[in-house]
Structure 1
């Protein structure tokens, strides 16, 4: 079976699981995404375990039905194989396997057996596969899925329908392939569960073009033992692109996100992308109020690369006063916002994320942050203070102003701010707002960048090239003189086009302009007279 065929079969599996949920009244239910993603994760882990066990034992590999062969092994032999498994492979007991459950599907207590299997797997693998809250509570892999069915009499049938979907084919042959296959599948899997048109906290969906551009500009050299961080990680699009650019084996992922759903999706993304070792660093919690990742001395951990697409506006009035403590004075140097009396959901929270990121960058660290384009030129509040600090600290690398509607879910124009603590040279400002093609996505209009346009952005930026009406390379002193503006357009040279004409041609043009102006003045007089006449008639009629 080719990779393309596997992709088709996998999408059919996902569609089948969604159909099962709809059949049992869970279509568009708040818990549907848990059922779909957890059933898929169970399938993935089962097949990954099967693949790795057969790689370890030639007898299992050659057996027509490896599960039947494994059933003949002693407990000690199975345990010995478990000890040899790589860390990124979940440990499953023989009764946890999909084939084992499939053989019990007609049992009267099948739903209970199904749920207990998932819970057993979660407990057995809790140390490696659990994410945690900022309070230290572990969130394990699986829930009791049958309990989402309100009618107990239908739970056996529901779990039976799921297991019959999962047994249709195996992922095993695809594990020898590059994990890009699963990156594509992940997008399809979560397509219905990671949409938020309101741009609420940490659940923005970052287009792949933006994520690829950010990673390609940040990572320009090969380095080892890299810490990558996203303080508003969502489902992990930015982190996955960054990890691929750095090299999965060369980096460790750290993240925090207030959304439990997003943290669960990020865990799934890490599993599919061979980054299981980073799962314990996934924290569900409020980054601004309670940043979780700390060094041994309790100071905030520092990172080599930071990526973020933070929420722009959010009502955080409930905890803004809690931020006003001495330990935050350095982190939030630009101050805390006042709580408005009205429209609290319009509070700008992105400046707090920018300051947090500046605070946690290593001495040679780099960052890329998606921000509203208004940040580049705002002359008041925290935005101006942040830009001034970036210039004075010589830690801004550049800005890319993106096309409008690059995000289909928001009309806000966005730019990407690039930070580099080691940048003593010029700052590259790019206006890429005229690139891309407009397309319809549902009810919204979206701008799509071609791969050629993506390459143009990244290659021009990394070459630090000044291109007419596209990029400009400016010094820190020039930024100061322009009142710390980061907008490329304010630094482009004003072009005046000259053309040679004779005195007669000049006189002819002037005469044409005079005639046009005379006509306009006459039309204006006629309109004014008509208005006065109508007003007079109106007064007479009223009298």
Structure 2
């Protein structure tokens, strides 16, 4: 067991961990492909040598066989191979404290080729602060290599800790780590859905595997039926995200609190997700939602959300922390000061946080992503729903790349093809690719003059107005919405100018759905409010906008000409 406090050990040795890991890896030659678990196992064996004053590989092997569990012994043998002498060498070169710190805090999922097994320290620190653990029963569902539990023990060593992990290697790593620092831990191997429903906890943390299919979770029929009795819509889910969240809620005591890490899509996806969120809200199970910055994980750059669960909630606290990251060497982090700010925002309204009612959430189709409520559009003068001035809206043609290659013409024709890549800074390139002809089946995807095009995917949205000569036909591709406007009511360039403004950008961002690749749904697009003043005012703004487009085109021409001239200066000299 550890003699000094975890905080003291961390402050004293943490900076040396990376160097120690690098040294161990460099010595593990001959073991084949070296993974993080190989480095971990070697550090642990070296720690056993140093802590128990073992003299040689025979004594070390005997200690592993007699003093450790069969599962732990098997894990170490798999990871170290026949290089037991390396552990002896390392034990002679490092202190017990340095080796212990390496075991506890070395990164296990620091390579994108390895599956994610640990929650970033930033998220763990924030979760621990929000849960405020104090002499309670605490669980980590899908505990991975035990990062959350280590941090929680550092904050409160008197609580009883439980972890469950399906991966054999990660379970052993977690077990090794926690047994070194606490007598009050239990780590089991298995799926979280096998837990007896009578097992309840005061505090739960869960960073589950995102977006896996329901049939790959191993959830048994009885557990699924129990979930369905509370939330019937669970029966229809394809992906497992809400199964994991539901499982956490079912194992939470009546006065307990849980923190779950989910993809952003879980907070705003439509369909079944929307209906499940509605159920959770009406049952008072969601206390808060925190939008976290992108690139906090070492294995993925996508942003995630922290959902705080508890019972009998009447409102939901929304916190937008997306822009609060500090840029680290390999990934973003949340500094201690930032975590303090987020914890403060959990109790106070600020420019990045507020409490919202269920009625407000219902107006947003039961989406619970904070940006829907914190960054509201400014009141739009003479505002109308965008759909009121749309006469037709279609998605571009779904043309396979191989077919498109056959359609492309090297010579100018009366037919051209518009792709998302052809729109730069709100301007459509003059040199759209030519195509030989357009099949009659695809003519309905041709863009009419003065149509507005908006990118379906990605953020920020791209917006442009297409100018199509009478003798020309332009085919739009599938990543674009083509919108025909009632020009008796709105000037297309006026609408474009608004959608590219700060308020217009916020309006578009608030309707986007999807986690990895945000996209704009047609229904949401029709509902956003746009200004619709008198046509004279619209035309004046549109004229100014067109004048700036012409100015940009002239500048681009001058720039390209200057670059071309610069490349011939030597020959001219």
Cα deviation for residue 204 of structure 1 reads 4.2
Q: Which residue in the other structure is 2:400 paired with?
A: none
Counterpart pick for 1:475 among 357, 363, 375: 357
Q: Which residue in the other structure is 1:406 paired with?
A: 296
Q: Deviations over 1:58-113 (max 9, x none)?
A: xxxxxxxxxxxxxxxxxxxxxxxxxxxxxxxxxxxxxxx43xx42xx4xxxx54x5
Cα deviation for residue 417 of structure 1 reads 0.4
Where in structure 1 are there 5+ consecutive unaligned residues?
48-96, 127-137, 150-154, 175-180, 339-346, 499-507, 524-543
Equivalences for residues 16-415 of structure 1 within 5 A: 16-22=23-29, 24-26=30-32, 28=34, 32-33=38-39, 35-43=41-49, 47=51, 97-98=52-53, 101-102=54-55, 105=56, 111=58, 113-122=59-68, 126=69, 139-141=71-73, 145=77, 149=81, 155=82, 158-168=83-93, 170-171=95-96, 185-186=102-103, 188-189=105-106, 191=107, 193-195=108-110, 197=112, 200=115, 203-219=116-132, 223-224=134-135, 226-245=136-155, 247-249=156-158, 251-272=159-180, 274-278=181-185, 281-288=186-193, 290-291=194-195, 294=196, 299-315=197-213, 317=215, 322-323=220-221, 326-327=225-226, 329-330=228-229, 333-336=232-235, 348-381=239-272, 383-415=273-305
Cα deviation for residue 210 of structure 1 reads 1.3
Cα deviation for residue 165 of structure 1 reads 2.4
Residues 364 and 422 in structure 1, CA contact (< 8 A), matched pair in contact too: no
In 2, distance between residues paired with 1:248 and 1:145? 31
Residues 319 and 345 in structure 2, CA contact (< 8 A), matched pair in contact too: no
Q: Secondary structure at the match of 2:208?
A: coil
Describe the shift of the 1:206–1:120 C-alpha distance in structure 2 as closer, same or farther (beyond 3 A).
same
Describe the shift of the 1:472–1:199 C-alpha distance in structure 2 as closer, same or farther (beyond 3 A).
farther
In 2, distance between residues paired with 1:118 and 1:256? 24
In 2, distance between residues paired with 1:258 and 1:240? 19
Residues 47 and 100 in structure 2, CA contact (< 8 A), matched pair in contact too: no
Residues 312 and 372 in structure 1, CA contact (< 8 A), matched pair in contact too: yes
In 2, distance between residues paired with 1:196 and 1:388? 38
Q: Deviations over 1:213-269 (max 9, x none)?
A: 1111221xx743x11111111112222333333x111x1111111111111121132
Cα deviation for residue 169 of structure 1 reads 5.2
Count how many residue pairs are aligned between Structure 1 and Structure 2. 389
Q: TM-score when scaled to structure 1?
A: 0.62
Residues 41 and 76 in structure 2, CA contact (< 8 A), matched pair in contact too: no
Residues 430 and 471 in structure 1, CA contact (< 8 A), matched pair in contact too: yes
Equivalences for residues 425-436 of structure 1 within 5 A: 426-436=315-325
Describe the shift of the 1:147–1:467 C-alpha distance in structure 2 as closer, same or farther (beyond 3 A).
closer
Residues 394 and 421 in structure 1, CA contact (< 8 A), matched pair in contact too: yes
Q: Secondary structure at the match of 1:230?
A: strand
In 2, distance between residues paired with 1:467 and 1:321? 41
Residues 24 and 43 in structure 2, CA contact (< 8 A), matched pair in contact too: no
Where in structure 2 are there 5+ consecutive unaligned residues?
1-7, 382-535, 552-573
Equivalences for residues 1-20 of structure 1 within 5 A: 14-20=21-27
Residues 20 and 162 in structure 1, CA contact (< 8 A), matched pair in contact too: no
Cα deviation for residue 320 of structure 1 reads 5.8
In 1, distance between residues paired with 2:73 and 2:285? 40
More strand by share: 2
Q: Deviations over 1:176-233 (max 9, x none)?
A: xxxxx888534653x2x33463795xx34322111111111221xx743x11111111
